[in-house]
């Protein structure tokens, strides 16, 4: 999952930087989101993989503080960038003539609920569950699964959700890897 996260997000960064046709704010923000997701997962996952490989759970105090600092930094950046992306889309679509017909209130509520359920609740509920349940004796397996959900799975899914389903990104990726356009 870590390699998929890094590879998928790197593809998005390369596609956006290599295709001048998609040098727009939306794709700039998507490339930034991909970079932050790589950094976010790279703060904890390599150490976790090392611990699994060596069967050791040792981390120095400085290492722990550094890891927590960067984990919280990139999580905060991720949240702020998502807010900026939402504002960007709001500005981009605030005046079309049929906007209110297409984006009716029930459809907007459905979109908000759906986003709270692939990404927000997946991240925050599992993170909150890990920290709130630390006082209750549980298996380390349960904690590990919850930790992987909010550190790896959301960052792994972001390229698929925000970019790889996008026609412009697909075209840029095809150009990047020299696949003939049909």
User: What is the arithmetic mean of pLDDT over 142-170?
Assistant: 73
Residue 76 to residue 42: CA distance in whole angstroms: 15
**CATH number for the domain harbouring residue 116:** 1.20.1070.10
pLDDT band at 107 (very low <50, low <70, confident <90, very high): low
Assess whether pLDDT exceeds 80 at residue 85: no
Residue 101 to residue 103: CA distance in whole angstroms: 6
Query: Based on the structure, what is the number of domains in the chain?
Result: 1
Evaluate whether residue 181 is within a structural domain. no
Assess whether pLDDT exceeds 80 at residue 17: yes
Evaluate whether residue 22 is within a structural domain. yes
Residue 132 to residue 120: CA distance in whole angstroms: 17
Give the residue among 34, 20, 32, 36 at the shortest CA–CA distance from 171. 20
Evaluate whether residue 182 is within a structural domain. no
pTM of the model: 0.69
pLDDT band at 116 (very low <50, low <70, confident <90, very high): low
Assess whether pLDDT exceeds 90 at residue 38: yes
Evaluate whether residue 40 is within a structural domain. yes
Evaluate whether residue 169 is within a structural domain. yes
Evaluate whether residue 83 is within a structural domain. yes
């Amino acid at each position: 999952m870590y390699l998929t996260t890094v590879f998928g997000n790197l593809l998005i960064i390369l596609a956006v930087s290599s295709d001048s046709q998609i040098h727009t704010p939306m794709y700039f923000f998507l490339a930034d989101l991909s970079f932050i997701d790589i950094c976010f997962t790279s703060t904890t996952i390599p150490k976790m993989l090392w611990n699994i490989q060596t069967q050791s759970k040792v981390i120095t105090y400085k290492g722990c503080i550094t890891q927590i600092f960067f984990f919280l930094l990139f999580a905060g950046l991720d949240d702020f960038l998502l807010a900026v992306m939402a504002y960007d889309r709001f500005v981009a679509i605030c005046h079309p003539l049929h906007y209110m017909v297409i984006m009716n209130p029930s459809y907007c509520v459905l979109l908000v609920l759906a986003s709270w359920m692939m990404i927000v609740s997946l991240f925050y509920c599992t993170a909150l569950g890990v920290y709130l349940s630390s006082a209750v004796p549980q298996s380390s397996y349960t904690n590990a699964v919850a930790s992987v959900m909010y550190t790896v799975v959301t960052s792994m899914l972001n390229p698929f959700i925000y970019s790889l389903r996008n026609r412009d990104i697909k075209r840029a990726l095809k150009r990047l890897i020299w696949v003939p356009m049909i």
